[in-house]
């Protein structure tokens, strides 16, 4: 039952992003992207520092720092293809076809996020399970970030001249990628019984660190403090703290 709820929630968050673009004016969807990104940046950074990193170092039998660094660098590489859409960069150009490089980069990121989530849900022995078997902070972190990314992706696709039908097909593909990772992490224990899923979690934490720090550093436009965005970041950080 929980697996079904997780899947519906993950897919629904991406579809909701597309509906927001389809129903709201661009100025309103842009504002939602900025505020949701600021909130998710604070939330992701907090759960990384106060939850996943301490527990990975405390319980894991791997070189945690190496895999966090690998995740950070993987995300850096993916953004060469995605153009930074993960943290709100929307570069609209007229396109003759679907930007497969961008979609692939987003899909790889989403797929990797889903694997430790599925492992946690299945009760595999990973760091998230040692003290927080029922902790949903990773799920909420993914959801909070998927919504603005889905809005940005749909905005880019429609603004680039791609038909609405093709845009929805691309968004639907993006919507199911985390679920694919979720299923893989959930059912893989029998196939990969000796695999240490802390490795994937550490890589995902590195990716989340890259995204969250980039969001926060880019939130202050022209290096000026935006009070609303700053308070939104604090709210995201505070929520993560109290959830832990």
pLDDT in tens, 160-183: 888 888 899 999 999 999 999 999
Structure token digits, residue 237: 């950080």
Q: What is the pTM of this model?
A: 0.86
The DSSP annotation for 172-216 comes to HHHHHHHHHHHHHHHHTTTTSTT--THHHHHHHHHHHHHHHHHHH
> Which secondary-structure segment (H or E) carries 14?
helix 2-23
In the chain the first and final C-alpha atoms are separated, in Å, by 24
Residue 73 structure tokens = 């660098």
Q: Which tokens is 205 given?
A: 């934490």
The residue among 5 and 128 whose pLDDT is bigger is 5
Backbone angles phi, psi at 68, to 5 degrees: -65, -45
Does 36 or 222 have the greater pLDDT score? Answer: 36
* Band of pLDDT at residue 95, cut at 50, 70 and 90: low
Read off the pLDDT of residues 2-58 as tens digits, 9 standing for 90 and up.
Answer: 888 999 999 999 999 999 988 887 777 778 888 888 899 999 999 999 989 998 998
* CA-only gyration radius of the chain, Å: 17
pLDDT value at residue 127: 47
Share of the chain above pLDDT 90, in %: 40
Grade residue 200 by pLDDT with cuts at 50, 70 and 90.
Answer: very high
> Taking residues 172-199, what's their average pLDDT?
85
Positive or negative torsion for Cα 90, 83, 141, 223: negative
pLDDT at 15: 94
pLDDT of residue 193: 66
A 10 A CB-CB count for 173 gives: 14
| pLDDT tens digits along 129-165 | 444 444 688 899 999 989 888 988 888 888 888 888 8
* Arithmetic mean of pLDDT over the chain: 84
Q: What is the pLDDT of residue 221?
A: 55
Give the per-residue pLDDT at 90.
Answer: 67
Res. 96: pLDDT tops 60? no
With a cut of 90, say whether residue 88 has pLDDT above it. Answer: no
Tokens at 147, concatenated: 């919504």
How far from 229 is each of 38, 39, 197, 217, 218, CA to CA, in Å?
6, 8, 35, 11, 11
């Amino acid at each position: 039952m929980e697996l079904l709820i997780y899947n519906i929630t993950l897919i629904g968050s991406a579809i909701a992003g597309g509906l927001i673009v389809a129903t709201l004016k661009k100025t309103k969807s842009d504002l939602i992207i900025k505020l949701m990104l600021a909130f998710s940046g604070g939330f992701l950074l907090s759960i990384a520092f106060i939850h996943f990193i301490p527990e990975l170092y405390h319980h894991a039998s791997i070189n945690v720092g190496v895999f966090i660094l690998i995740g950070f660098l993987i995300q850096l590489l993916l953004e060469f293809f995605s153009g930074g859409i993960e943290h709100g960069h929307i570069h609209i150009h007229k396109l003759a076809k679907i930007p497969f490089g961008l979609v692939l980069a987003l899909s790889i990121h989403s797929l990797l996020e889903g694997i430790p989530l599925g492992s946690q849900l299945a009760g595999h022995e990973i760091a998230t399970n040692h003290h927080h078997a029922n902790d949903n902070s990773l799920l909420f972190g993914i959801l909070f970030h998927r919504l603005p990314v889905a809005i940005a992706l749909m905005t880019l696709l429609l603004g680039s001249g791609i038909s609405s039908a093709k845009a929805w097909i691309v968004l639907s593909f993006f919507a199911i990628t985390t679920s694919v990772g979720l299923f893989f992490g959930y059912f893989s224990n029998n196939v990969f019984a000796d695999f240490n899923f802390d490795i994937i979690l550490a890589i995902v934490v590195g990716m989340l660190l890259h995204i969250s720090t980039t969001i926060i550093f880019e939130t202050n436009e022209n290096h000026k403090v935006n009070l609303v965005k700053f308070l939104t970041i604090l709210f995201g950080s505070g929520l993560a703290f109290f959830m832990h």
